[in-house]
Amino acid sequence: MPKRLNYVNILFWTGVFLFLLLGIDSLIMTYPDEGRNAFATLYMINSGDLIVPYYNGEIRYDKPPLLYYTAILMYKFLQIFGFEDLEVSFRLVSIFSTFLSCLVTFELSKYFIKNRYYQYLSVVIYLGFVNIFIESKAFVPEPLLSLFINLSLLSFYKIYQNNQDNNIRTRNLWTYIFWISIGLGMLAKGVIAFIIVFLVICVFLFICKELHLLKLLFGNPLAFLIGLFIGSGWFILVGIKTHGEFLYQFFMVHNVGRFTGSSNMHPNPFYFYVIVLLINLIPLMEIFILSLISFVTSIKDRNEIKHMSFLTTYFLAIVIFYSLSTGKVHHYILPSLVPLCILMSFYTEKTLNTTSKRSTLLFILYLLPVIALFIKVPHEFENLKKYLIIIFSISPIVYFITINIQKGLILHITALKILVFYIIITISIHDIFPNQKEFIQAIKGKKIFMVGDISTVSFYNLYVNKSPKTRDIWYVNHNLILNSEDLSEIRKSLMQNQEVLIFTKGKYLDTIMKSISEFRQIDSNLEIEIKDMIVAQSKIKVVKISKNN
């Protein structure tokens, strides 16, 4: 039995990792966050400055450096083996972060789910969330932050449980892990890591009337100091080097400002995360319905509510906290998906062990393909829409048959559906965003301008042309004309027989054409060509100016 279990474990976790790799190179670096993060990381590699992050010639105040550091280490490590793909190397940071979050999920599920089969199911559910699939392939700090928040809360729960068992040695070990995880979380995204972790812990202990147990987390001064050093050391250095400017911009503008709305960044309504959660559940609707059946019928069971109180507090505290923030982005609630997937697995098991009669409720999911039929999508999304309608038409029947004939296959059916769903998404990306590499080839050796901050253009201009700054012709936005400095720079490049490319949105095209029309009057050999090009996830207008020799 142990040998068979070990074999299943190896097979399962290998499958998890391979699934996470699916679609890692389907898109070039996307706009805006991936482009900015990738630029800051590559600039660190080129400049050797590991303290102050830069983006397109200016200090990047948005993020602490853990994402940059781990990406540099990953890139340098893979270079030893001759692997030079920069985009994949950077994105592997999120792949490994998500994989480790799966391990955390599995470990935490053991406290609430005794059946190993449904512990595996909690991981499969986690992998099925739309946010997890997207963010695990994105070069952004959220998977790192989510990992360390989740690891901190797993550590706390182990400390909490071991206190009841009076296991001091194990409790000390997890205290170190707890504070190191918080420190790394702060290095990934700032003080929000500390706030989220202690919000969940304090609310949970308050509900349990055990707030006095907070002292367990501070019983090891060395662990606390190590976490404090990891979490604050870099902030002290960057504060000194930028004379406090980074600290003000990061904490007051990008943290306090986003929460209060004073920075006017990513404003969204209070119910925003309800929509986000529903979108996350799209590939998992059958499991959600099954878990909801038992959750509703068990809501008066006080013993069960107490047993699951940590998970429900964990989930609700994060979602409510971010809902109170004025600035909201879909991936902020990533850490809340760990308790949600365990709750869904727990209540799915309970439903399947009690009755199969209510499984007919699955057929309510036929509303999805019916609704989808009436949703108009752009032409390039039509094939994806057809495939998804087929999946959503077949899967409720498959689940219904499985539940009523062989419940033991629910894990396999769920894993298969998720795999098929995301394979279709990955394949469809190539139809929706074709010829992405054309953009990278097109900019080689060219003088690049852009109207507005298009971070993908900035990053690849640095990557391909070694240009540390891509001129942003923001005057087109504000003055509806190119300024003399930009025109002079374009003229200088043309005199050196260098082609000029201007990346812009269509609405600014007429203004650009009027501004550069004088070049043709001066030099009749100039050629001006306008074409559409896929840049990240968008169709961008490209104005090409060159000399006809």
For residues 522 and 547, give the distance between their C-alpha atoms in angstroms, rounded to a whole number.
Answer: 12
For residue 180 the two structure tokens come to: 């190191």
- Residue from 400, 312, 287, 331 nearest 37 by CA: 331
Q: Is the pLDDT of residue 362 over 80?
A: no
Q: Using 50, 70 and 90 to split pLDDT, how confident is the model at 5? A: low
Specify the range with the lowest mean pLDDT, choosing from 7-11, 131-135, 273-277, 417-421: 7-11
DSSP string, 345-408: HHHHHHHHHH-SGGGGGGGGGGHHHHHHHT----GGGHHHHHHHHHHHHHHHHHHHHHHHH-GG
pLDDT category of residue 166 using cuts at 50, 70 and 90: low
- DSSP structural state of residue 230: H
Domain ranges of the chain: 2-30+61-354, 355-434, 436-547
Structure tokens at 473: 């012709």
pLDDT reported for residue 17 = 98
| Separate counts of helices (H) and strands (E) for the chain | 25, 7
Instruction: Provide CB contacts within 8 A for 48, sequence distance 6+.
Output: none
- 484 has pLDDT over 90: no
Banded pLDDT at 185 (limits 50, 70, 90): very high
Question: What would the DSSP string read from start to end of 143-158?
Answer: HHHHHHHHHHHHHHHH
C-beta of residue 467 within 8 angstroms of C-beta of residue 461 = yes
Taking alpha carbons only, the member of 549, 460, 547, 548 closest to residue 503 is 460
* 292-304 pLDDT tens trace: 988 888 877 788 8
Q: Say if CB 475 and CB 486 are below 8 A apart.
A: yes
CB–CB of 443/524 below 8 Å? no
The model's pLDDT over 387-419, given as tens digits with 9 standing for 90+, comes to 989 998 999 899 888 888 888 899 999 999 999
Other C-beta atoms closer than 10 Å to the C-beta of 542 total 18
pTM beyond cutoff 0.85: yes
| CATH T-level assignment (fold) for domain 436-547 | Translation Initiation Factor IF3 (3.30.110)
User: What is the Cα–Cα distance from 304 to 309, expressed in whole angstroms?
Assistant: 8
Q: What is the mean pLDDT of residues 199-220?
A: 94
Which stretches of 242-334 are DSSP H helices? 245-247, 257-260, 272-280, 285-297, 302-307, 309-324
Q: State residue 375 phi and psi, 5-degree precision.
A: -90, 125
Please state, rounded to an integer, the average pLDDT across all residues of the chain: 90
C-alpha to C-alpha distance for 224 and 217, rounded to whole angstroms: 8
474 burial type by CB count under 10 A (0-12 exposed, 13-18 middle, 19+ buried): middle
Q: Residue 16: left (phi > 0), alpha (psi -120 to 50), or beta?
A: alpha
**Residue spans of beta strands (DSSP E) within 479-537:** 500-504, 526-535
Per-residue pLDDT band at 157 (split at 50, 70, 90): very high
What pLDDT does residue 358 have?
A: 63
Q: Which token pair is 167?
A: 């296991």
* Average pLDDT estimate for 343-354: 91
pLDDT score at 129: 98
Residue 1 has pLDDT above 80, yes or no: no
Task: State the amino acid at position 182 in one-letter form.
Answer: I
- State yes or no: pLDDT of 447 exceeds 60: yes
